[in-house]
Structure formats: C-alpha cells, structure tokens
Amino acid sequence: MNYYSLNNNAPSVSFAEAVVKGLAPDRGLYFPENIQPLPASFFENIETLDTVEIAYQSIKQFIGDEIPETELRDILKDVLSFDFPVVEIEDNIGTLELFHGPTMAFKDVGARFMARCLGYFNQNNNNKVTVLVATSGDTGGAVANGFLGVKGVDVVILYPSGKVSDIQEKQLTTLGQNITALEVEGVFDDCQDMVKTAFLDEEISSVKQLTSANSINVARWLPQLFYFMFAYKQVKQKGKEIVFSVPSGNFGNICAGIVANKLGLPVKHFIAATNVNDTVVRYLQSEKYDPKPSKATISNAMDVSNPSNFVRIQQLFNNNFHELKDDFSAYSFDDEQTKATMKAVYNTTKYIADPHGAIGYMGLKEHTLTDNQYGIFLETAHPVKFLDTVESTINTTVEIPTQIRKVMNKEKKSIHIKSYDELKKFLLQ
C-alpha cells in the first residue's frame, strides 16, 4: 500500500515512510492510494472473530507486506489487551467505552500501535527518531505511555498551559526517560502549528528525523477504525441501522470510522459532535471553511478550531459537499448544555459520562433516531480524567482507578515555551 499527500505535491511513499515522516514534504496529510472493501463474509461472520482477527483483517491492506503477518498479529495482540464494551444507556442508545486502556483514553490504541510499528521499523536503525506531538488533552498521556522506553525514539509533547485537566497533565509530565513535555503559552492550535512548522524546517530536518504521533500520522489514525468494527460485532444481533456519534476535536476518530464504512461496515450515518469550536458545523451550513481562534471548554480534548483530519474526511467523500452531507452531520454544544446532559444521564441511568461522552450523547439526541436505528456514542475518556468537573456537576464521588492513582502524586516536570523559536532551539540543542 502506498500513500500520497492530500496536497498532491509530494511523492507517494510506503506505509513505513509515511509513519516515519508523519507529514508529507508539501505539508499535506498522507492518505492511502486505495481502500479495498472487505468481503461480505467478514461482516456476516464477525461474531465468530476475536478482536485481534477483526483488527488484522481490517488493517492488513494498509500495511501490505511491510510488517510480516506474525509480527503484525503480535503487535495487535499487545495493543488490544483490554476491552471495548458497548454499554446500553437507553433502549436505542449505547455507549462504546474506549477508556479501559493504560491511560484511560481512546488514544491508547493508536499510540501503542504506532509506537510498536515505529519500533519495528527502527529495530535495525541506529539513528534516533524524535516523535513531536501536540496535545489538547489525552493524546499526550497516551503517546507518552505508548512510547515510554521504546528504543531509538525520543518523544517531545507540546501542550497548552492551563488548558488540560490536572490528571491529563500528570500523565504526560511525570514519566521521564525518553519523554519531554513542553508547556506552551497558548492554545492547542498554537501547539499544532508549531509541530507542523517544525516538520518543514530544513535546519531541524537536516539534523533530526522528526515524526508525529498526532492523528495526522497514518499509524495513529488508521487503527481507530477497529473501534467501529468492535461495536458492530456487539450490536449486530439487534438488526437495526447503526448511527455513530463521535465527540470530535481533530476529527481523526470519526474519520477512521468512515474508513471502516468504506471497508464495508454497515453504518447508516455519522455524527460529529463538537463543543463551541464549531468550524465544521458552520461549514456544513454554509460550505465555507472558516476556522476561528479556539475557545477553552470543559471538553478540552475537543478545543480544536482547525481540525487536521477534516481534509481526509472530505477526500473520503470525493470532495463532494452534497455527498458528505448525505451521510455526515455535525452539531455543536456549549458547556452549560454539556453539564445539564451529564446530570440528566446520571440522574436517569446512574451512568457517569465525561464531558466529551455527554456531547456525543447530545449528538444522537439532536439527530433524532428512528425506531429502526440504534445510536452509539463514543465515550473517549474515563470521567476521572475530568474529576472536578464531573464530581461538581453530578454531585457524586468518582472512584479513582489504579492507572490514575499511579501518577497523581508524581512530580510534574515541564519546560515552558512561548514561541516557535524556543521550540526550534530546544530541538536543535
């Protein structure tokens, strides 16, 4: 499988090259040259397949022979070592819980998969790779955990100061070893712009091999399609059309879901549920893409004004606005609506939703499901990661899992930067 740049001004590359480069030289995102649907028998018999087999059959065409089958299955077995349950909330609504991994966020799968792929490609290489990543919350912790101690890889994480939760900050600033956290005065979009600029800076690339572990990287992005396959396996017997509502920030997760659909996964509709950072919502109303400065919210992992992966979504719909609108909707909700929904869901069902999951739930309600449809919203992070917000909103105590207790009392270590020049100086020192 080869990958081309969506800016169409760079050579096509292999999967390994796309993983190592992260971003194409023309600043475009890499995209697979073709997506071949899986045989109908795969979906007919999906209940008989375990998670590793589902994942292997789903991802193998995107990797080709660059990682042998035995090694790829071993990687998947290691990465998918926890559960992905669909928990029913109402008669026609369930939530797909993606927070049972080591950092209790959906990004654990993509970060661990990418780390192991990069480790495989780098196993006989003495040159170090620097993973440069921007985070609006959960990416940082997942990447730090996934790459911790990986041979030949240094990780540099940029995060906006004061705009991630305390627990998220602990997860990305306390591990040490090959992980460095840079605390940026600004918002997530500033961090992401710095990362993209560094990739194209020849003074840096002449002395360092940079790659990204954001969802711009194909090895971080594509494994997220597994979630949608796992959910389908669990609800197939209901015999209903499936509607997915995905809390969306950089739009990598929902984009991967659409790839699963292109592989043949039966999905009636996709909903991108956002907070007040509503660039895509406004685009679907006006056909004008007009990012504004991002705003801080209680659903901070979605505080993204210019989502990188939306260009991939447009490509998946052949850059046809009307085709996109047929199968894809987007809705925006503010903090007060989010809190009210968290409270209502808890009071009615005793289910504790985090702010992002609550927005996903609202997306299903706004879309209005028919009797023949089953809605699944994604719970992308454990509510404990937003402890103060959750406990004050629903007036209850959230039990703190072992994964979180391990980092809460560790010492934070970060380096403050204000500008791209300071990032560049750090990378070149």
Give the active site residue among 21, 60, 77, 107: 107
Q: Which two tokens stand for residue 410?
A: 């560790």
Distance between CA atoms of residues 109 and 227, nearest Å: 9
Are the C-beta atoms of residues 275 and 335 closer than 8 Å to each other? Answer: yes
Distance between CA atoms of residues 129 and 293, nearest Å: 32
3-state secondary structure of 114: helix
Is residue 21 flagged as an active site residue? Answer: no
3-state secondary structure of 320: coil
Q: What is the full DSSP assignment across 66-91?
A: SS-HHHHHHHHHHHT-S---EEEEET
What values do phi and psi take at 124, rounded to 5? -110, 20
3-state secondary structure of 120: helix
Angle between helix 387-394 and 166-173 (nearest 10): 160
Q: How far is CA 280 from CA 150, 286, 313, in A?
A: 36, 10, 11
Q: Which two tokens stand for residue 415?
A: 């380096």
Ramachandran quadrant class, 238 (left: phi over 0; alpha: psi -120 to 50; beta: rest):
alpha
Q: Dihedral through CA 410, CA 384, CA 215, CA 294, nearest 10?
A: -100
Residue 134 identity: A
Residues 6 or more apart whose Cβ sits within 8 Å of residue 381: 98, 99, 104, 105, 106, 137, 138, 301, 354, 356, 357
Q: Which residue has the tokens 């989502």?
A: 307
Residues 6 or more apart whose Cβ sits within 8 Å of residue 86: 94, 95, 96, 97, 231, 234, 235, 376
Distance between CA atoms of residues 270 and 362, nearest Å: 13
3-state secondary structure of 328: strand
Distance between CA atoms of residues 365 and 175, nearest Å: 40
- Any idea which residues carry the catalytic annotation? 107
